[in-house]
Structure formats: C-alpha cells, structure tokens
Chains A and B, each alone.
Chain A
Amino acid sequence: MNRIFATKAGSDVYRLRIPWRPFSNDAAPLLSSQNAGNPEKGSEAKQYDIAIVGGGMVGLALACSLASRPLTRHLNVAIIDSNPALGRKHFIKKEDLPDPRVSTITPATISFFKDIGAWQFVEQHRHAYFDKMQVWDYTGLSYAKYNARDADKEVLGCVVENKVLLSSLLSRVQETVLPKKIYPSRLNSMSILPNSSSSEVDSTLSMTALFTHGRLAKLELEDGNSLYAKLVVGADGGKSRVRELAGFRTTGWNYSQNAIICTVEHDVENHCAWQRFLPSGPLALLPIGDKFSNIVWTMSPKESSEFKSITEDNFLKAVNHALDYGYGPHPTPSILGSSDLFSWLKGGISKSANDCFEIPPKVVKLASERMAFPLSLRHANDYASKRVALIGDAAHTVHPLAGQGVNLGFGDASTLSSVISEGIAVGTDIGEVSLLKKYEADRKPANVMMMAVLDGFQKAYSVDFGPLNILRAAAFHGAHHISPLKKSIISYASGEMRLPLFA
C-alpha cells in the first residue's frame, strides 16, 4: 500500500501540474453525487460533499447538525469509522450496568442536542441531570457549593454514558433525510493537491481530473475503497489520522497523570456532582442515574496502576476514605470567617452560600471494571486548511477535571455546520480555506480560553504550598459566597458564556 502524504498548498493558481497517476479504479466520468450501493473492493470511487472521518460522538453530531439545517440537509455525507456499533441498530440494553465512559453534558450542549433532534433519544436511556455541585480540597480550608438556582437555572448539567450519546446521535442521523453512507473502515491515506487550472474547455471533468486540479480531496481506506470529497472533516479523536496526514502541527504536553474511571453504586440516590482536589489530582463522583455514580480519579501513573490492581473492597475503601477524611480534614465554615465578610460586596450572598458542607454518599459496590488512561493537553495550531477541518478531540484535548472536553467538541460541530450552511447560502465552495478559517476564528479563541482555564486549575492544584493553599481556599470561599462570581462561573461552565468573567 502506498503511503501518500497530503500536500496542501496555497495559491498556485496557474501551474499546470500532473503529478498524479490516477488509480485504476476511479476513471469514472463525473456523476452527480448519489447514495451508493455496497462498496466493493476495486469499484468506482464515489464523490461526496463532506467526508467525516470518525463516527464518534462529535462526528455524528456534525452529521446531525448538517441534517437539521435547510441549506445543508441535502449534502452528500460519508462517515468513515471502523466501529462495528455504527452498523447495528440498537446496541444498548436497558439492563446493562452503566459503562464507565461517561460525559458531563452542559446545558448549552443539551440545547444543541435538542436543536438537532437527538436529545429525545438520550432521554430514552439512562441519563442523570444534576443541579448541585460541591467542590473542595484536601486542605479542609474551604469548599464551594454550587446550585443551579444560583444562576436561575434548572440544572447544572447532565451525565450521560458515551455509548448512549453515540447511539442517540446515530438513531437521529439514520432517521433524517441527509444522504449518508457509513464506511466501516479506517482512513489509510488522504491527498489534496494544490489548485491548478486545466487547459481544456471541457465541461465534463471526471473526478480524477477534479482531484488533479485540487477541487476534491481523495481518501483511501484500509479496506481498499476510495472516495472523493469536497471537504474532509477530521473528527477522529486525540490521535487523529486526518490531523497527522494533513500536516497540522500541535502544541501540548502530557500531564504526568492518569485517570482511573469506573462505575460505583450507592445505597441512596445521588443527585449532586462531587469533586475533591487531592494532592495528586482531583477525584470526581458524578451521578449517572439509578443509584449509580461514575468515578474519575486523577493520580500519578504509578498510583493508578496500583489502584487498578488492588481488590475491589480495598478500592472502595480507598474511594470512601478519599471522599471523607482521607488526606485532610473536612472544611468548616469558621476557618476563613463567615459570609459576613463578603456581604458588602455587590450582588449579595448567593442562595447556596448557606448550604453546609456535606459528605458524599458512601460507595458500596463496584459496578464495572476499572479503566485507566493517560491525560494530556493537546491543541492543533490550526483547525482548518484547504479542504480539511478538525473538530472535537482531533483539534483539542483537555484535562477532564471540569467535564468540558466533549462539550467543546459539540460546540465545534455546531459552529462548523453553521459556517458550511452560510457558505452554501452564498454559493461558496465548501472546501475553501477562507470559509473554513471562519470556523477556526470562531472556535479557537473560545477553546483556547477554556483550555487555559482548565490548565490553570490543574497547575494550581498540583502544588502543595502553604500560601498557595490559602489562596486557593480564598478563591473557593469567594466563589462560594460572592453571587455574581458564582453566577459567572456557572454560566461559563454551562457553555453559555464564551469567555469567562466577561458579561
């Protein structure tokens, strides 16, 4: 198999280039894009408007979003993903225990899902809204309790298993009229040639010729199929192949931390999201519904392999200990003075400021295996180039400490589909860089800002240093008591504000 590296170049408009030897299976005359039959090996390559590489949550969300807009609902879309689940109709059984891979969905994402018509499917499966959140750390100096009522909302978010989100999006996209085709394979190589003109004045250009002149991208899959597309969207996750092939550079670093995730069970129902910052990383307990909760415990790689291998009982004991008196005392309000201190600040005291510190419900059973994965921060320097756009984790990966990751991805999908729709409204070629750069200009600042905030938190909490601890405690205290600040924090974390603290 030949490895062909994508070449994308700027504006060589008039160089006649024939650098390409066409493959034998794609000399078909130009067809208007149609819905394909079964792709057999060596059959004609088809042409699509958009090829979404990666049929995960964000890739399918993009497809649903395109399907929900009048101007884009007739675009031909190819979805390339080797996940066999995409070919099946219903892969969730009601009696399944909750999968440990979950996402916290912000209210902004919930409304996005409602707009694209996928939320109704989510509600048919297990999902857990929560309206309370408690955040504290091991020093016991302070805590912050958030309530959705503080920002005049109903919920702070909803915790949903990833497989539920995926199946909901898949169900939705199947029922729309969007002409789509799922290719159950992986992307092997991708090529995009620079623009050039042809000397023929022939109006029937074959796909090969169009590709040669830079009007189409050519994708080759591992199962031997080829396809052409006007726009390639990389939604294939943190180790994006599209990003690699298109030559996007990334910035980032690995946190020397792993996260352990698992599902646990309580005796009582849990409606609050809990997060305690421990010396080696935060431990989060998120309600998942039906007395189950999801645990995300960030720690050093050594500790994570230890915790993964100890017995279930010991693990549960460790979790309860960490959520309770482990590592430090409970915070009591009197340590940093009472809320009177802040009463002179405008905005008054938040409604939940008088809520006492609570100990999270005890964990009684482990309901899934423990999984561990390394954490890193990665950001593509550009999100778009000629005929390629990156969305979701392919463009940015963040620390899970605030549950924002996939929400940023959904935001990308929503913006990209809106930009494509505007492009079609004014007759633009959807693969043009100027159009795709609009998407980048919209999302990059917001994503970078969120990443900076999260990274800041991660760094602030990784140092155990007296004065810094007090500073953090003061920050907690302020966030807990100062109403406008709390509102701002909730709004930003809910996805409603693009930039923090600016009204």
Chain B
Amino acid sequence: MASSMFLAQRRWFHSLPRNLSNARFFSALPSQHPVSVSGPQNNVGPKSNKFEKASSAPSSLKEPELAKFSAIADTWWDSEGPFKPLHKMNPTRLAFLRSTLCRHFRKDPLSARPFEGLRFIDVGCGGGILSEPLTRMGATVTGIDAIEKNIKIARLHANLDPTTSTIEYCCTTAEKLVEEQRKFDAVIALEVIEHVADAAEFCKSLSALTAHEGATVVSTINRSMRSYATAIVAAEYLLQWLPKGTHQWSSFLTPEELTMILKRAGVDVKEMAGFVYNPLTGRWSLSDDISVNFIAYGTKEK
C-alpha cells in the first residue's frame, strides 16, 4: 500500500490547452463570470459586489465563499462532519506532497521528518488539517486563511500537540503576505483556487511567495463533465458529502488552464496527479486520472 502512495514516476500533463474554445482567458480585467452551468443554488452572489471586491483590494476570496465557510468553521476537526471528504483525502494529498517535495528538495524519503529546516506555507489552511501533518514531517509551517474563525480553531487544535504548536497561523491573504515580502520554500494551496475571485492574480501571489528554487503546489477540481457529475451532483446533492453550493462548477479550472496561469505567474508545472475515490473501500488514492480532483506541482523558474 505504501508503494502505491509514493508514486515515483513522472506524471504526464497537457502542455497546451487542447481545446481552446473551452479555455477561459485570463486578462488583467477582473473576471466576469461566463454563464454558470452550476446547480440551482446561490451563485448569484452580488456580482457587482464581487466585481468591486476584485478590483479594489485583491483579497482573493469571494464574499459568498467566506460566508459559506464561516458557517461550518466549528466542524473542521470533526472527521465525521461536513469536512469528512477532506479528512479522507488528506493522507493521499500528503503522500503526493511527500513524494514530490522530497524529490524537489533532495531529501531522504525514508526519513521520518524529511522537511526539517524548510519553510512551508499552507494557503487557505482552514482548520489546519494539512499544516499539522506537514509540521510533523519536520517543516516549519505558516498557515494563512481569510476567515478569522478558521485561524482560531486551527490554533486551538495545533496547541494540543507540542509538535504542532509551533505552527504560525495568521488571518491574512496571500496578497498581503506578498506585500510583506515573505518568502517560503514551498507554497501549498490545496482546494483553494476554486474559491478565489481571480485565479490568475492568486497564482501570481503564490509565485511571489515562493522563494528562489522553491516549489508551488496547487490542487483543485477539474472543470469537466465528469467533475460536474461527481463533485457537484453526486457530492453535493446525491451523497450529500458537501453542503450544496460548496463549489461552483464554472469556477473550476482545467489542468491546462491552471498550467497556463501558473506559467504566466512564473511557475513551471512539473508533475500532476489525480485523486480517485474508491466507493467500495472508501479510500482515496493517487492516480493518473485528472478528470475530477487533481494536484499540480511546479517549480519557480528563476
């Protein structure tokens, strides 16, 4: 089982968007949402509000998203609660991180704490379910989130274990940290980019936070027919894993798009992998199938 989690081979990835008509072009203008194909719920956040928000202070997170997450903030560490799918997916994400980052930083993958001495930032850390394991793996972790409640909860939980009580949590955004000129060896933003208003700006911030010869890792959900069926219809409506309206299909990025905007931000995507859920065993695993959940690892060019 361990061997399947540590996939050493290179992931294939699309080098160019294959279907240009599908791609969304990111320009300097704040995003205007194309016609939403998403479910009946609330995507009608005050559009004008979003527009303003995006152009005035690029505090990436969309307004309705903030509200959504604040509501369920208390349940972050309840592994049977609304964040159950994330808890289940967590070990798989960590396996990918361990494998790619050990290789990137040339650390011994058989060491129990391979990331000793490295500074990581968990952007959109939520309750810290990613930050804590990374700290146990030796990294010096900073966790940021736009929602104050999340940070409070993350801090309380991290203090329960002396190893994780050293995590630096801040309620701030990536952009603000860029202004403060912070740099990190690895910038990790998992399951965040689908909730931000301007993905291109967000990626620029991620890139700016990455130190020279550092790594950037982003994970999100693909915008494909299959992901609509799985992540929206199945997860939100049929199985009720996620509260309705958690995701907006139109905000999803395809791997091509993500690669492109990261490239424009100066990050070269080197590997990509997908997360696949097996309903029989109830477990997630890494795979080549990037049609629903996928994760991309890139390096800063200069």
Contacts and interface: CB of A to CB of B under 8 A. Distances in A.
Interface string B127-147: 000001111110000000000
A59 to B, nearest CB: 22
Contacts of A214: 160
A30 B81 CA distance: 32
A213 B160 CA distance: 7
Nearest to B131: A427
A427 B161 contact: no
21 contacts: A11-B78, A11-B79, A14-B156, A30-B162, A70-B110, A197-B156, A197-B160, A201-B159, A203-B162, A205-B159, A210-B160, A213-B160, A215-B161, A422-B2, A425-B95, A426-B98, A427-B94, A427-B132, A427-B133, A427-B136, A427-B137
B160 A198 contact: yes
Interface of A: 10-11, 13-14, 30, 70-72, 74, 195, 197-205, 210, 213-215, 418, 421-422, 424-429, 434, 441
A387 to B, nearest CB: 13
Contacts of B79: 11, 434
A322 to B, nearest CB: 46
Interface in B206-222: none
B296 to A, nearest CB: 19
Given A198-B156, A427-B132, A204 B80 contact: no
Interface string B76-104: 01111100000100110011001000000
Nearest to B81: A11
B156 A418 contact: no
Contacts of A205: 159-160, 162, 165
Interface in B160-175: 160-162, 165-166
A385 B132 CA distance: 21
Given A201-B159, A215-B161, A71 B1 contact: no
B112 A197 contact: no
Contact of A426 (B77, B91, B162, B281): B91
B77 to A, nearest CB: 5
Given A427-B132, A427-B136, A434-B87, A204 B162 contact: yes
B288 interface: no
B155 interface: yes
Interface string B112-138: 100000000000000000001111110
Contacts of A429: 136, 161
A436 to B, nearest CB: 13
Nearest to B165: A203
Main secondary structure of the interface of A (DSSP, over half): loop
Contact of A424 (B95, B112, B159, B160): B112
Interface string B58-92: 00000000000000001001111100000100110
Contacts of A200: 159
A421 B110 CA distance: 10
Contacts of B2: 418, 421-422, 425
A198 B159 contact: yes
Across the A-B interface, the 5 shortest Cβ-Cβ residue pairs = A427-B133, A426-B94, A427-B136, A70-B110, A203-B165
B233 interface: no
A434 B283 CA distance: 11
B157 interface: yes
Contacts of B155: 201
Given A198-B156, A210-B160, A426 B133 contact: yes
Among B2, B135, B159, chain A packs the most CB atoms within 10 A around the CB of: B159
Given A13-B157, A215-B161, 16 more contacts: A11-B78, A70-B112, A71-B110, A71-B111, A71-B112, A197-B157, A199-B156, A203-B162, A203-B165, A203-B166, A205-B159, A205-B162, A213-B160, A421-B2, A425-B94, A427-B132
B178 interface: no
A426 B80 CA distance: 20
Nearest to A202: B159
Contacts of A71: 110-112
Nearest to B132: A427
Contact of A215 (B77, B98, B160, B166): B160
B177 interface: no
Contact of B159 (A195, A197, A425, A426): A197
A426 B78 contact: no
A422 B5 contact: yes
Contacts of A204: 162
A215 B110 CA distance: 26
B122 to A, nearest CB: 12
B159 A203 contact: yes
A200 B160 CA distance: 10
Interface in B265-291: 281
A425 B165 CA distance: 20
Contacts of B77: 11, 13
Contacts of B6: 425
Contacts of A428: 91, 133, 136
